[in-house]
Structure 1
Amino acid sequence: MRAGAEAAAAAAGVAALLALMPLLAQAIAIDRVRQLAAKNNVTCVLVFGDSSVDSGNNNVLQTTMKSNFPPYGRDFLNGRPTGRFCNGRLATDFIAEALGYTKAIPAFLDPKLTKSDVLHGVSFASAASGYDDFTANISTVLSVSKQLEYFLHYKIHLSKFVGGKKAEEIINNAVFVVSMGTNDFIQNYYLDPTRPKQYSLQAYLNFLISCMSRDIQEMHRLGARRLVIVGIPPLGCLPLVKTLMDTATCHQDYNKISSSFNSLTRRRLDSLRKSKGLKTAFVDAYAIIQDAINRPGRYGLTETTKGCCGTGTVEYGESCKGLTTCSEPEKYVFWDAVHPTEKMYKILALEAIASFDESLLA
């Protein structure tokens, strides 16, 4: 009996140790990245993209693409909606925290933006935007061209605070994060008739890559030296897409589009890295989210098919406003029918951080 009890206790101890191992690995990865960032004078995080990284810029725009109301933000640092399309923080917030700067990256258009915010990094991203400027125009949000224009304003503010030379140094040593592409397909190519009349699907993929390449080269011209590109998620697994396509499982045609786009993105990023001398990293959001859907237990998740807001099948943004939510969003992959939960964004961030090495941060 005693031997059996000891064996059971030992087994429980091993199980507890195994449960702690992912947390220990995460802590080690974050510590390593923070040391690398400090050693190489990495200064801040500057963010461009869509709702996956918009921390509130759309709040001040004349657009319906907003989330500055409950239940969005219910698990944010102070439990209030900020304009993030999430119950809490975004992947970029966790990345900035890991690098040692701030727990939440503010929106550049936030009227309460402080000097400290400007020095520690901001987001120029706008929900419903995309690599194709026409995507942003459909929803009256900030195109990448406009986001880059605001980045020029940011440089002016920064120069006023620290002087021109120091401002250039800060920008040269910043980590630029770019995350978009989903809306180019979901809200543009597959809903609006304009682009399908002009481009076949393959031609549109190539067009988006050329837009992305143009934007990256402009960022480089304006001072970007470290660049992180986030790939698009498995579009066919978004609850909204599954509802629209009337399927209970991930729609494989949409997933193939995601995969093709990400493959083209990787290739172009590699080419730009060589031609421009950029330090780069690619965050494979497709693989990370797909793995969480296929093996939820590995991440402490249980609900992979629907969002936490409302029915979880169609609601996002305005249609999610004021609705009831699930009691445990930390068990869900999706917060609404399109966007991940804070838990999923944290998983994405930790995977991204683990991939950051001296090729990006040195």
Structure 2
Amino acid sequence: MVCGVLVNGEPKVPCYFIFGDSLSDVGNNNHLVTLAKANFSPYGVDFPGGVSTGRFTNNRTVDDYISTFLGFNKSITPYRDQMDQDILRGVNFASGSAGILIETGFELGDSVWLDRQILNYIKTILRLQFMVRGPVSNYLNKCLYTVNIGSNDYLNNYFLPLLYPSKRLFTPDEYANRLIARYRLQLRNGSSFRHRSTRLRAGPNDYEQYNSCVDEVNEAAKIFNTKLESLVDDFNARLPGAKFTLINFSAFQAVNPLPADINTSSPCCTLNIVFECEPHSTPCANRDLYAYFDGVHPSDVFNGMVAEAAYNTSDRRIARPMNINQLTNNQKGKSTY
């Protein structure tokens, strides 16, 4: 059971901007030509009204839960659906199969990779400056940002050597350096708007059960995660106008073993060739007992557990240097990865 703090009245932050991949996508891929879509049943089977919104799960994402903990009365809307005053609350720019690198995920079709998401954010800021009193930067300084990306750069790039040259060209350490260098530039571009806080996600770790080279993927992920920790430390030291924290999903799974009755080895739905749910298939009945809804994406119950830990944990192996609740209480700014 998720028991995050609910806020009556105004949210803890005025706006919440979300960047990332399919773990955060709430519908941005619906109108793209791509196999990375979730706007069909059984996705959304437990969402209000049973609507398949484009979320790659049976109900809520981690970011949906966090928006509730922050006190928002509804989830942050996708960029393609942003409407007038609604963007004052923030925007979700995340896109399934997106990566840090432009070429990541091309075998699945189109996506809004991180550079394009940042461009969409800039377009949003240009609109916001006519909607707020005073400098728009003063408004953005109070907002929370999350960036949840990186898994696809391994699973839909580095570890697909028949389609991508990355593994032939780079050792795991060299590839991690390439990703971190690009990520650093992208985040600095976003931070130029002097936003207040950002949460970063350490990954990849979400596809382990269905990958044939689990150990190799895990080792590569550890290299990336270690470099990401250093990146967050560097940003906190060099960018005094913003605060960053790192949420390590891998550490969450290691530190918080799931209840014994939670199935972690099987998906809740019938899978298609890209390990997503077969369209209009019947999912399992006891969805609260499954950690994964499809072959790669967590279920609502697992997302809730992760969000609870990200928001409230005191374990610095999971949230470093602080959890999201502490981050949003920090007057110097808020950012998560």
Place the TM-score, normalised by the shorter chain, in its bin.
0.7 to 0.9
Q: Which residue type is aligned with residue 232 of structure 1?
A: G
CA distance in 2, matches of 1:327, 1:258: 33
| 2:122 is the alignment partner of 1:148 | no
Partner of 2:203: 232
Partner of 1:5: none
CA offset at residue 137 of structure 1?
4.5
CA distance in 2, matches of 1:65, 1:315: 8
CA distance in 2, matches of 1:295, 1:56: 29
| 2:162 is the alignment partner of 1:202 | no
Does the C-alpha gap of structure 1 residues 181 and 305 become closer, same or farther in structure 2, counting only changes over 3 Å?
same
| 2:131 is the alignment partner of 1:161 | yes
CA offset at residue 129 of structure 1?
0.7
Does the C-alpha gap of structure 1 residues 308 and 116 become closer, same or farther in structure 2, counting only changes over 3 Å?
farther
Q: Which residue type is aligned with residue 84 of structure 2?
A: K
Partner of 1:324: 282
The two structures have a TM-score, normalised by structure 1, of 0.80
1:317-359 deviation digits (Å, cap 9, x = unpaired): 4x52122211111111111000000111111111111123545
Whose Rg is larger? 1
Partner of 1:262: 225
CA distance in 1, matches of 2:293, 2:273: 11
1:66-113 deviation digits (Å, cap 9, x = unpaired): 111101111112211011111111010111111112332211112xx3
Aligned pairs, number: 315
Q: What are the residue-to-residue correspondences of 1:1-362 with 2, within 5 Å?
A: 26-27=3-4, 30=5, 42-110=13-81, 113-138=82-107, 139-163=109-133, 165=134, 167-191=136-160, 192-235=163-206, 238-241=208-211, 244-245=212-213, 251-277=214-240, 278-291=242-255, 294-297=257-260, 301-310=261-270, 316-317=275-276, 320-354=278-312, 355-362=323-330
Q: Which residue type is aligned with residue 117 of structure 2?
A: Q
CA distance in 2, matches of 1:203, 1:161: 44
Does the C-alpha gap of structure 1 residues 315 and 334 become closer, same or farther in structure 2, counting only changes over 3 Å?
farther
Q: Is contact 2:132-2:139 (8 Å) kept? A: no
Q: Is contact 2:154-2:204 (8 Å) kept? A: no
* Higher helix residue share: 1
CA distance in 1, matches of 2:147, 2:235: 14
Q: Is contact 2:199-2:324 (8 Å) kept? A: no
Q: Is contact 2:150-2:204 (8 Å) kept? A: no
Structure 2, unmatched stretches of 5+, are: 313-322, 331-337
Q: Which SS does the other structure have where 1:296 is aligned?
A: coil
Q: CA RMSD in A?
A: 2.3
CA distance in 2, matches of 1:190, 1:117: 39
Percent of pairs identical after alignment? 25
CA offset at residue 190 of structure 1?
0.9
Q: Which residue type is aligned with residue 45 of structure 1?
A: Y
Q: Which SS does the other structure have where 2:146 is aligned?
A: strand
Q: Which residue type is aligned with residue 157 of structure 1?
A: R
CA distance in 2, matches of 1:315, 1:149: 28
Q: Which residue type is aligned with residue 349 of structure 1?
A: A
CA distance in 1, matches of 2:105, 2:73: 28
CA offset at residue 260 of structure 1?
2.2
Q: Is contact 1:93-1:102 (8 Å) kept? A: no
CA offset at residue 225 of structure 1?
2.4
Q: Which residue type is aligned with residue 275 of structure 1?
A: R
The two structures have a TM-score, normalised by structure 2, of 0.86
Q: Is contact 1:239-1:307 (8 Å) kept? A: no
Q: Which SS does the other structure have where 2:181 is aligned?
A: helix
1:153-185 deviation digits (Å, cap 9, x = unpaired): 11122223335x353322221111000111101
Q: Is contact 2:129-2:136 (8 Å) kept? A: yes
1:95-153 deviation digits (Å, cap 9, x = unpaired): 1111112332211112xx33343111211111101112221545321111110110011
Q: Which residue type is aligned with residue 51 of structure 2?
A: R
